[in-house]
């Protein structure tokens, strides 16, 4: 090859390398948060998107069902999911963890609750445990109320019915959405009508409804500790290698139950607040939280992260 052709080949190689680097950098700077349409997960996801944007990243929150969330993480179409409730999601999530395509990563909210519940007047009348549900089938119209189709909680309830666990074989699972289910529960409780439903904490339902969580959950249902849950942050395979700065941020991001309860209560009191705005308002009032989140984290151009978040909150909240 002549020297002239070598120079031309080198130029093309250099251009190709630069273009590839630019594409890789752009891809690394675009972060997709997978979410499901639950209040707590929405708050975490929207806050995370805002924090990422404050650090100079392009970020978006995409809402999926639980099964599609794990498919998206496994194929790299999503980078992170803040709503892995364990152990109830084990039947959906564990196969992705075991394959190595999705990383369980870090517990972001220990001490949560996820199990069946009833209005307190039902508990006072004797419906206190999973084993009591079938005894009151007539009063309950042989129905158990869940949320959106594909949700892991619904799957657990349906499995209990299909296998006649606790004598629930005659029951029907009613699927709708978080909002629709809670509206139904509130209406029933107000009129002293019996209902069993999927409940969880943190959530403002615990303030809005006089409710009692049932005992008796097992490892085959909502976990052996009466539905006590830990919520995990899951990330796609290779996120730490592709974007260690963002991965470190996600590892640092915890959401104590008390924090989430306060945010949800503020939304309930002020209907003008969106979930994301309520989360940012809480963050602005509690800077020690984002200071902890940004330990060893920088902006996309290598500057200290905490001042960038403060500037963003001062401008937008």
CATH number at residue 68: 3.40.190.10
Tell me the per-residue pLDDT of 123-168, one tens digit each, with 9 for 90 and over.
999 999 999 999 999 999 999 999 999 899 999 999 999 999 999 9
Q: Which two tokens stand for residue 114?
A: 């996820």
Q: Has residue 212 been placed in a domain?
A: yes
Q: Has residue 8 been placed in a domain?
A: no
pLDDT at position 291 is: 98
User: 124 and 85 in one domain?
Assistant: no
Supply the range of the domain harboring residue 138. Answer: 113-228
CA-based nearest residue to 198, from 168, 232, 175, 166: 175
pLDDT at position 29 is: 62
3 state DSSP class of 249: helix
Split the chain (317 residues) into runs of 10 and give each run's mean pLDDT: 47 43 47 96 98 98 96 98 95 97 97 96 98 98 95 96 98 96 96 97 90 96 92 98 97 95 92 96 98 98 97 97
Q: Has residue 150 been placed in a domain?
A: yes
Tokens 């803040």, located at residue: 82
Last residue of a domain, one of 228, 245, 277: 228
Last residue of a domain, one of 228, 253, 286: 228
User: 222 and 129 in one domain?
Assistant: yes
pTM of the model: 0.79
- The CATH number that applies at residue 167 is 3.40.190.100
Q: Domains in the chain: how many in total?
A: 2
Q: Compute the distance between CA of residue 73 and CA of residue 236 in angstroms, rounded to an integer.
A: 5
Q: Has residue 126 been placed in a domain?
A: yes
Q: Has residue 223 been placed in a domain?
A: yes
Tokens 């194929």, located at residue: 75
pLDDT at position 14 is: 44
Last residue of a domain, one of 169, 196, 228: 228
pLDDT at position 230 is: 95
Q: Has residue 270 been placed in a domain?
A: yes
Q: Compute the distance between CA of residue 191 and CA of residue 307 in angstroms, rounded to an integer.
A: 51
User: 121 and 104 in one domain?
Assistant: no
Q: Has residue 7 been placed in a domain?
A: no
User: 219 and 72 in one domain?
Assistant: no
Q: Compute the distance between CA of residue 301 and CA of residue 298 in angstroms, rounded to an integer.
A: 8
pLDDT at position 28 is: 52
């Amino acid at each position: 090859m002549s020297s002239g052709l070598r120079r031309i080949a080198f130029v093309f190689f250099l251009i190709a390398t630069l273009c590839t680097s630019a594409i890789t950098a752009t891809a690394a700077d675009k972060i997709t948060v997978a979410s499901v349409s639950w209040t707590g997960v929405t708050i975490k996801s929207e806050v995370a998107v805002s924090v990422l944007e404050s650090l100079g990243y392009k970020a978006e929150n995409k809402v999926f069902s639980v099964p599609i969330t794990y498919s998206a993480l496994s194929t790299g179409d999503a980078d992170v999911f803040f709503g892995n409730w364990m152990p109830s999601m084990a039947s959906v999530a564990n196969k992705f963890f075991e394959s190595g395509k999705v990383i369980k990563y870090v517990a972001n909210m220990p001490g949560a609750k996820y199990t069946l519940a009833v209005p307190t007047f039902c508990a006072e009348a004797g419906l206190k445990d999973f084993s009591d549900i079938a005894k009151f089938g007539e009063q309950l119209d042989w129905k158990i109320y869940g949320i959106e189709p594909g949700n892991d909680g619904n799957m657990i309830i349906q499995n209990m019915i299909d296998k006649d666990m606790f004598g629930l074989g005659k029951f029907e699972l009613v699927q709708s959405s978080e909002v629709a289910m809670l509206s139904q529960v509130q209406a029933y409780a107000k009129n002293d009508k019996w209902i069993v439903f999927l409940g969880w904490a943190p959530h403002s339902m615990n303030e809005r409804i006089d409710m009692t969580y049932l005992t008796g959950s097992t490892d085959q249902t909502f976990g052996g500790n009466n539905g006590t849950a830990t919520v995990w942050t899951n990330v796609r395979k290779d996120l730490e290698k592709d974007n260690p700065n963002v991965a470190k941020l996600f590892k640092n991001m915890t959401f104590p139950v008390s924090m989430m309860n306060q945010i949800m209560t503020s939304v309930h009191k002020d209907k003008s607040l969106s979930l994301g705005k309520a989360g940012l308002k809480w963050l602005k009032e509690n800077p020690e939280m984002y200071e902890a989140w940004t330990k060893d984290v920088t902006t996309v151009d290598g500057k200290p992260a905490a001042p960038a978040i403060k500037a963003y909150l001062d401008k937008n909240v």
